[in-house]
Structure 1
Amino acid sequence: MLTLAEAARFPESQVGAETHRLAAHPDRVPAAMLIPPAFEEAFYRTANLPEQLSRLLAPINPARLDEDLLEVLSEQAQALVRTSSLLDDAVQVLYRALGNAGLSAGEVHARRPGERETEAARVTPPGTAALHAVKRLWVRDWTFGALLTRLDATGSIGLEARPTLLLAGPPGVPDARVAAELGVGTALVNPLGLVGLP
């Protein structure tokens, strides 16, 4: 788990370009942290999800796509990810990081750097609701639309783990004034401050 300042020391390819942009405005961004791709990757690996998902989605033929079948299998894939558990050690690491980042109480939202879709939660210590919001965000990678997009773009349902941002407060909304001040096209702001530069 990384603060935005720590995350900015890593290449954009590992933490997302938006993470670097947000880290450049520490006075404007409320409590935040970045869950590195390795954490998500460990969840998939320890729950044996790559093999299970591969087996589940094996009937999908990208060359002759059956969208009805894809829809049914995407729901099963989402259920598989949703019902898989993180190891207790990983959960405790996340809870400690939430506490250290000031995100273990109040409203938070999870989002992938560079994307607008969010999952929000109202958190009480130790942070179970935040963990559930993160998992709901990860489950979105297995929706019909996400699978179809990957098949169209790469011809594969395969997926690389990606970073996840956790930010204080509700999801941000576009603020033209802040965007103009920062010289960017879009700035997402919530009552606590700047929460997005997608």
Structure 2
Amino acid sequence: MIFSLEQASATGEVADLQKLQAAGLPVAATVVLQGLEAEFYRFANLPEQIRNAFAGVFGARLDEERLEAACAQAERLLRESYLLPERADEIMRMLPEGRLLVRYAGEGPFALEPSPQEALWAIKRLWASRWQVDSVLARAPELAPPEVPSLVQRMEGELLPDAGLSEQASRLLGRSVQLWAAAGLVLRVV
């Protein structure tokens, strides 16, 4: 559910960050949330509520008005639902102090927050973002968002591509990649 980068299941970008860290490249402190979003959906009974909100949207033709209303309702449901208190406490204990970048693995930055409390709120906003109209249309008629780990990373300075680290990482990973770093610490593998 809530892991340090070293303890997380090795998939996709998480696996790349783990390999780079194990090889000695400086990787930013990273907390990986795996399966927590699915648990949040289950315990808040969101799948059924969202299915009901989208009833009649995808028929013989797309009902755009209903789609916009259903997306707004789904986003609201996520924002207004609560994480289990013990999960919220566990996340807060794991998060480092300082500015925190919140995003999905394999995707660009979503939010940069000044503290763990704001990062916790940003995690729910990240999950709610999967219900924006463009996101829903991209996966339609499938409603469920893809299972992707959420990342919270300590970030100081500006996030920029790093050519030197990218070259090293490309050799280590055996394919051409671009690394994004801040203050000399790797945050993204593209």
TM-score band w.r.t. shorter chain: 0.7 to 0.9
- Give the letter for the 1:23 counterpart: Q
Q: Counterpart in 2 of 1:56? A: 53
Q: CA deviation at 1:62?
A: 5.2
Q: CA deviation at 1:160?
A: 4.3
- Give the letter for the 2:34 counterpart: P
List gaps (5 residues or longer) in structure 1: none
Give runs of aligned pairs for residues 91-110 of structure 1, distance below 5 A: 91-98=88-95, 103=96, 105-110=97-102
* Paired residues, number: 180
Asked if the contact 2:34–2:150 (Cα under 8 Å) also holds between the matched residues in 1, the reply is yes
What TM-score does the superposition give when structure 2 sets the normalisation length? 0.86
Q: Does 1:182 align with 2:169?
A: yes
Q: Counterpart in 1 of 2:148? A: 162
Distance 2:184 2:55 in 1: 45
List gaps (5 residues or longer) in structure 2: 171-175
What TM-score does the superposition give when structure 1 sets the normalisation length? 0.83
Secondary structure, counterpart of 1:109 in structure 2: strand
- Give the letter for the 1:164 counterpart: S
Q: Percent identity?
A: 29
Q: Counterpart in 1 of 2:122? A: 133
Once superposed, which parts of structure 1, at least 4 consecutive aligned residues long, lie more than 4 Å away? Answer: none
Q: Which of 15, 20, 38 is residue 25 of structure 1 equivalent to?
A: 20
Q: CA RMSD in A?
A: 1.8
Secondary structure, counterpart of 2:6 in structure 1: helix
Q: Counterpart in 2 of 1:82? A: 79
- Give the letter for the 1:111 counterpart: R
Higher helix share: 1
Q: C-alpha offsets along residues 60-87 of structure 1, whole Å, 9 cap, x if unaligned?
A: 1154112333122212211111111112
- Give the letter for the 2:29 counterpart: A
